[in-house]
Amino acid sequence: MAVMAGLLSQALAVPHSLGHTAATMQNSAPPAIVLEGLRKRYAAGGTLALDDVSISVQPGEIFGIVGRSGAGKSTLIRCVNLLERPDSGQVRVLGDDMLGLDDAGLNRARRGIGMVFQHFNLHSRRTVAENIAFPLEVAGVPAAERRSRVAEILPLVGLEARANAYPAQLSGGQKQRVGIARALASRPRVLLCDEATSALDPETTEEILALIRDLRARLDLTVLLITHEMGVVKAICDRVAVMEAGRVIEHGRVFDVFTRPAQPTTRRFVSEVIGHSVPAETIARLPAPEAGETRYLAHVLFAGPNSTRAVISQASREFGVDYNIVSGRIDEISGEPFGIMAVAAYGAPAKVTASLLWMQELGLTVTPIEEHA
């Protein structure tokens, strides 16, 4: 049985290309944000907050960086507009070599990069309209023009009625709408979102994410966001990078990373939203294989052209293998449907192997589920 499992995992080993050349793919236009070889250490002798991180974000895409707290994602996003200076590496935003700019140049460049914060960071003594006008004030835009720009942007975030309210009078979701409106007031091409939805309830999170997605399309924005919630990545990102201990451990198209996570950390993140894991109790309750038969537990992932074929019943019929479907669901990532199913295959070892390999040939992804005795 153990030999069997080893053989199977070998046969089923999926090549993880995952578009690791993603940094250079898709788009021929120059990337909006390029971070290259960033290193940052806060205290001498301390651990590296950033350890040789390189990321490139294409114009118009929503790029997510996901990681646990302390993984370095917050430092990373702060390096884009140099709220935090990397010890070494390159930062290019919209063609500007950020680290080469003087103070005045940096301030000018920052005005072209909007930023949204987890705790909104609104001025408590300014009204909604005054908060939104702040970046314009900083940039020296005349008062009349500021007023008309604020009037233009308030409807974009649905806050026309609250223009004269103070932040303390708003709900969390409304505060973040103000934060977004403020970030977009000076018409930036790039928007940085620092855990923009982490302080919000799930419903408001969805609302804010929808708003960001909608604004990206309307205003032709490039969005870089960091989050610890895989749900955020699944909901709006085109590409994702997973960070751990100051390094990017995996990156690629969200669909690829979700359907074929290569790293254990990524798999854990992904399982949060698409239920990769099967409880041990459930496994323990499955019937044992009969004499001469084997039981093999696997996740079968349906994606692509064959995702709608009746694969399981066909395999059962043709190979004489019984499939016990433990769990299954259909989901959609970035508009692409996929199904994931946990199955227990019962049958002669050779038949089981053959049936799973056949599924693999159809373009389904089969990953063994580890059984812990």
Partner 1 sequence: MSWLTPTMQDLFLEAFWETLIMVGASTAISVALGLPIALLLFVTAPRGLSPNGWVNRPIGLLVNALRSTPFIILMVAIIPFTRLVVGTSIGTTAAIVPLALAATAFLARLFENALREVDPGVVEAARAMGATRLQIVAKVLVPEALPGLIAATTVAVVSLMSFSAMAGAIGGGGLGDLGIRFGYQRFMPEVMATVVVLLIILVQGLQSLGDYLVRKLSHR
Q: Contact positions toward partner 1, by CB under 8 A?
A: 81, 83, 103, 106-111, 113, 115, 117, 119-126, 134-135, 137-139, 166-169, 182, 186, 192
Q: How far is CA 41 from CA 72, 91, 247, 322, in A?
A: 10, 17, 13, 55
Query: Beta 222-227 vs 190-194: how paired, if at all?
Result: parallel
Min dist CB 128 to partner 1, Å, is 11
Min dist CB 305 to partner 1, Å, is 45
Min dist CB 146 to partner 1, Å, is 13
Min dist CB 167 to partner 1, Å, is 7
Min dist CB 168 to partner 1, Å, is 5
What gap in Å lies between CA 357 and CA 300, rounded to an integer?
A: 11
Count of H-run helices and E-run strands, the chain: 13, 14
Can you say how many angstroms the Cα of residue 134 is from the centroid of all Cα atoms in its chain? 30
Q: Which amino acid is at 48?
A: L
Burial readout 318-335 (b: 16 or more C-beta within 10 A, e: otherwise): ebebebeebeeeeeebbe
**Within 10 A of 143 (CB to CB), how many other CB atoms are there?**
10
Min dist CB 186 to partner 1, Å, is 7
Q: Please, which residue, 18 or 115, has the CB nearer to partner 1?
A: 115
Q: Please, which residue, 199 or 362, has the CB nearer to partner 1?
A: 199
**Residue 140 φ then ψ, to 5°:** 80, 25
What gap in Å lies between CA 363 and CA 303, rounded to an integer?
A: 8
Q: Please, which residue, 7 or 138, has the CB nearer to partner 1?
A: 138
Min dist CB 83 to partner 1, Å, is 6
In this structure, are residues 39 and 87 in contact, taking their beta carbons and an 8 Å threshold? Answer: yes
Min dist CB 271 to partner 1, Å, is 33
What gap in Å lies between CA 324 and CA 345, rounded to an integer?
A: 6
Q: Please, which residue, 107 or 313, has the CB nearer to partner 1?
A: 107
Q: Please, which residue, 56 or 131, has the CB nearer to partner 1?
A: 131
**Residue 350 φ then ψ, to 5°:** -65, -35
Q: Please, which residue, 186 or 205, has the CB nearer to partner 1?
A: 186
Q: How far is CA 7 from CA 154, 262, 349, in A?
A: 61, 20, 10
Q: Please, which residue, 106 or 362, has the CB nearer to partner 1?
A: 106
Q: What is the DSSP string of 213-243?
A: HHHHHHHT-EEEEEES-HHHHHHH-SEEEEE
Q: Please, which residue, 122 or 340, has the CB nearer to partner 1?
A: 122
What gap in Å lies between CA 33 and CA 160, rounded to an integer?
A: 32
- In a 3-state reduction of DSSP, which class is residue 191? strand
Min dist CB 33 to partner 1, Å, is 15
Q: Please, which residue, 192 or 356, has the CB nearer to partner 1?
A: 192
